[in-house]
Amino acid sequence: MAPTSASAADSPTQSAPDTIENNLQPFFVLHKASSRKSEKRSAGTGKTRRRIDLSPSPTKKTEKSEECDEQHRFERLRMEAFELVWSKIDSTIKDVLRGINTNVFDEIYCWVCESFNTIKSFGTPGIAEATRAFPIVTDASSKLLFTGLVLTKNMEFVDDLLTFEEVGLFLKSHGCHVANLSSLDFSAKNGIGGCLRGLLRQFLMATLDAADMSILASWYREQENNNSPVVVIIDDMERCCGSVLSEFILMLSEWVVKIPIILLMGVSTTLDAPRNLLPSNVLQQLCPSKFVLGSPAERMDAVVEAVLVKQCSGFSVGHKVAVFLRNYFLNQDGTLISFIRALKIACALHFSMEPQSFILGGLLDEGEQEGEKSGLLPEIILKNAPQLPLYVRNQMAEQNGKSLVHGLSELKGLHKCWSIVVLCLYEAGNCNKIRLLDLLCEALDPDLYTSKASNNVVLENDCGLPITSDRFMRRKYSTSQKGGLISQIIRKVRDLPAATLYQLLKNWEKITMDVPEIHDKVKELQSEFRFEDCKLKQNVDDISKRHLSLSPINSEKDSKAISEKAAALLDSLVGDFFRPIECIPFHEIVCFKSVEKLQSALIGDPRRRIQVDLLEFYKILRCSCCSKSGNILVPSMHDTSVMYTLAQEHGDLINLHDWFQSFKTIVLRPSKKGKPKSKQSPLPKKRKDMNESENKSEASIQARFCRAVTELQISGLLRMPSRRRPDCVQRVAFGL
């Protein structure tokens, strides 16, 4: 009875877990099936295992979530700051480029009006006559097509796309009918029909299957548009198909009396380009006029002055970055679009790398709302202080926050004086055609400056804030260096004639208007002489003391003395106010200096990137098995990564047999979590199956090996075996 009672006693204990599990079955749908077996096994043995809760505590979870939220909020602030700063830079660049071409645009509009009046003087046909398909019989002069050749001086037409769009908008704003055609419309594949369809699409705002000039003529007459000229703009005629462009010009010349069409074409090389592209009978139908846009170097100087020297947005770059941008601009055939793209990438990298960069966006936003003088209010910094990193908050706590505000104010004042001196040097160097970008690279170089201790405040800016204080070192430019642009400019000022020097001082007076201290020095030098009839004459006070008439020798001496004073003034300005941005505290907030990051983002190193990804693949895949192994090769790694890691142990040549054996050893290595050994079967059939599986694994390993070698060859890291050494492959990439 004892066994039966025991079994009876055990039966409720065994059936109880089963009933509980059956009742809770719907709640365990997403769980693994092994959990139920383990519970049965533990219930059957009667042993209980102690479960250790490794999940983080609620306090740790909340701390991590708060840190993540703070990090995301901080990244969002920096992204918003980048969008605000770059929108300001982008709008400034567009305004600068539009301002450079304003005079040319006015000339083009006056020429369009004159050409339109000349065409109208030949007479205006009626609606029925204008819409006929055949031309009107008139003299040859009435068939001349007024053509404007716009010389762009660009190697790449990418910079000209925006320029011709601006021309079209400018002419539309003055009442002209404008159609912008691309050089792609004049391809041999599309033919004359593609050009005409594109023309009608822009004027009629509709796509027509049958393209005909009579449709355009009826539109021009019926819609009462006959009081305005029709301007057709072609961005780059040298990229057009010559036969298609010739046929298009002949067609327009036949309809020029019915539709007063004026042609405007861009030329990137020389004004003789139409002779090289068009036949003589087409050239006879043209009445050309030329317009010259600013050169790429002039446009680059204007952009650099507005964005990097005057710093319209507050963003700046270091010396090495400026040199890289200049070389990148020259290597890209002087394409301004490439420079702007590189500058945008540099700005994006700055806001992604520098944790304090969001302050720049706050300062710019506040400056736009309340004016420039309110851009450095303490409330802006203190309001954004909770979003700063911990070490920055500690630094602000030690300095009471106001030191950072004072440092930013001082940075703004120092850079303002620096930019004014750079512009004064640029005005003086215009006579020698010195480019502003070259001068900027030298002006930003901190190695050209020597540190000298200064125990008291030297200067004050226009806001009354000290520019140099006890805790800062005064950096003074060494103008004694030979060969530099700054020293060349100062030497050239000494040799300037009196008339050029007087005009230079007038330009300096305009530039230094915002800094009274520098402005007063320029006015003092300017008051020493005046010009009348291109002859140097002393001031009225000096004339009362001397003879009224000066001999030519004395005039030359006075001019030479003033030139020496002007050179000395420029030298003193460079010595006192010339301080690069990298030598000013808190410049990390506004200045981008990592030229390596910019170079890798623009130019890149794909072969190095492939090598790094192959060796550090676990950072991309993020698998737990490979990341925990470290540098130890495991079978779960990718075959190509295993092969390339093994290749690092070899030199220039890799023996294929040794390489395969090493790869096979890694692949066949048992994993740490091995399965329990099964009992060997005495049957010979099972042994035969094992031999077949080994043969299959050998073939699969060879196939994996060949595929990995092929991938390395395609990636450019290996060279396949040659006839001389068929058993070896050669490594191509080294030096990680």
Tell me: do 367 and 282 sit in the same domain.
no
Whole-angstrom Cα distance, residue 163 to residue 171?
Answer: 12
Q: Is residue 111 part of a domain?
A: yes
315 and 191 in one domain? Answer: no
> Domain check: are 264 and 334 in the same one?
no
**625: CATH:** 1.10.10
Domain containing residue 265: CATH number: 3.40.50
One domain, residues 575 and 650? no
Stated as kind and residue range, the H or E segment containing 474 is strand 474-477
- Residue 538: phi, psi to the nearest 5? -70, 165
Residue 678 lies in a domain: no
Residues 357, 269 share a domain: no
Indicate the residue type of 65. Answer: S
Can you name the residues that pair with 151 across neighbouring β-strands? 267, 292
Rounded CA-CA distance 196/232 in Å is 11
Please name the residue that has the structure tokens 């204080």: 469
User: Taking phi first (over 0 means left), then psi (-120 to 50 degrees means alpha), and beta for anything else, what does residue 622 get?
Assistant: left
Residues 377 and 457 in one domain: yes
List, in sequence order, the alpha helices (H) in 444-551. Answer: 485-494, 498-511, 516-526, 540-545
Residue 555 shares a structural domain with residue 617? no
Is-contact 365 83, C-beta < 8 A? no
Give the Cα separation of 438 and 177 in Å (integer). Answer: 42
Per-residue DSSP letters for 75-130?
HHHHHHHHHHHHHHHHHHHHHHHHHHTHHHHHHHHHHHHHHHHHHHHT----HHHH
For residues 341 and 469, membership in a common domain is answered with yes
- Asked if 380 and 500 sit in the same domain, the reply is yes
**Nearest CA among 566, 330, 303 for reference residue 436:** 303
Out of 570, 592, 614, pick the residue that ends a domain: 592
CA Rg, the chain, in Å?
Answer: 39
- Answer with the one of 237, 270, 293 that is the final residue of a domain: 293
Instruction: Tell me whether residue 2 is in a domain.
Output: no
- Whether residues 631 and 530 fall in one domain: no
Q: How many independent structural domains does the chain possess?
A: 3
Instruction: With respect to residue 446, please indicate whether it lies within any of the assigned structural domains.
Output: yes
Query: Residues 321, 267: one domain?
Result: no
Dist CA 589 CA 578 (whole Å): 20
Residue 20 lies in a domain: no
Those residues of the chain that have pLDDT short of 50 are 1-55, 370-377, 380, 387-392, 398, 451-476, 478, 480, 531-536, 538-554, 673-679, 681
Q: Would residue 43 count as lying in a domain?
A: no
Instruction: With residue 719 as reference, give the H or E element that holds it.
Output: strand 718-719
Residue 24 lies in a domain: no
Pull the structure tokens for residue 605: 């190193």
Q: Does 23 reside within a domain?
A: no
Helix (H) or strand (E) holding 331: helix 319-331
The per-residue DSSP string of 246-288 comes to HHHHHHHHHHTTTS-EEEEEEESS-TTHHHHHS-HHHHTTEEE
- CA distances to 49, 249, 410, 561 from 676, rounded to whole Å, are 22, 87, 73, 101
* Alpha helix stretches (DSSP H) within 146-241: 158-173, 191-204, 213-222
Of 293, 322, 338, at which residue does a domain stop? Answer: 293
> Do both 453 and 401 map to the same domain?
yes
Q: Are strands 286-292 and 177-181 parallel, antiparallel or unpaired?
A: unpaired
What is the C-alpha to C-alpha distance for residues 244 and 247, in angstroms, rounded to an integer?
5
Alpha-carbon distance values, 247 to 182, 253, 278, 279, 287 (Å)? 16, 10, 10, 11, 17
Q: What is the DSSP letter of 305?
A: I
pLDDT of residue 322: 93
Reported residue count of the chain is 736
Residue 625: domain span: 606-670+690-731
Q: Is there a contact between 350 and 613 (Cβ–Cβ < 8 Å)? A: no
Task: Tell if the pTM clears 0.75, that is, is over it.
Answer: no
